[in-house]
A and B are shown apart, each in its own frame.
Chain A
Amino acid sequence: EPEVTQTPSHQVTQMGQEVILRCVPISNHLYFYWYRQILGQKVEFLVSFYNNEISEKSEIFDDQFSVERPDGSNFTLKIRSTKLEDSAMYFCASQRDRGNEQYFGPGTRLTVT
């Protein structure tokens, strides 16, 4: 069964460094998302992406964040200058079409020291 994959599973970085989190969505899906979950808190929406552009972004998704679909398979989240409060589990999700289920990847645990 097709699944969303994410790499790396765990990333440790120093404050102020740039990180890129990678996702491979399910191949025939058209809508892509990033969410994050800070330890002990709710899963929260960051951004949605469709047709090579951002559809919607949350207040969290400020100028330090960017997303890209550099080729036909990968979907990336870049954090330009990480802060301690960016430490969280980051989930990528994909969706075949509007109104369908969103399928989540296993997550990347980002630790900022």
Chain B
Amino acid sequence: KQEVTQIPAALSVPEGENLVLNCSFTDSAIYNLQWFRQDPGKGLTSLLLIQSSQREQTSGRLNASLDKSSGRSTLYIAASQPGDSATYLCAVSSTDSWGKLQFGAGTQVVVTP
């Protein structure tokens, strides 16, 4: 059974510092991995999707890496801003259940001015 873990559960950084968010999963037979942002009481905003065959994906200040063999993905956010304050979720789908996303509990990020 796939388990997705995100550590740390919460993180506070000063504005301008780079953010490093970690996601680990127990079953390496993933189809893809998706990173989301969730603001309090709101829906999920998709940030990046990494296919299982990819090692990295970039969008603006965001960069996500994937190491399937070690069961890890890392989301890097460069030069953080107060507007980056949110909860960041990672979710994986498996090769035998490609549509079903299994989520981690998230990392709550606060960027202080």
Contact = CB atoms under 8 A, between A and B. Distances in A.
Interface in A19-71: 31, 33, 35, 41-45, 48, 50, 55-56, 58
A31 B97 CA distance: 13
Interface stretch (B15-23, B40-48, B66-74, B76-84): B40-48
A100 B49 contact: yes
Given A42-B104, A42-B105, A43-B89, A56 B99 contact: yes
Contacts of A42: 103-106
A45 B101 contact: yes
Nearest to B104: A42
A52 to B, nearest CB: 15
B44 A91 contact: yes
Contacts of A105: 43
B64 interface: no
B34 interface: yes
Interface in B79-102: 89, 91, 97-102
Contacts of B98: 98-99
Given A106-B43, A107-B42, A101 B34 contact: yes
Contacts of B31: 99
B97 A56 contact: yes
A92 to B, nearest CB: 9
A103 B51 CA distance: 16
A102 interface: yes
B50 to A, nearest CB: 11
Interface of A: 31, 33, 35, 41-45, 48, 50, 55-56, 58, 91, 95, 98-107, 109
Which 5 pairs between the two chains have the least Cβ-Cβ distance? A104-B44, A106-B43, A43-B103, A48-B99, A101-B49
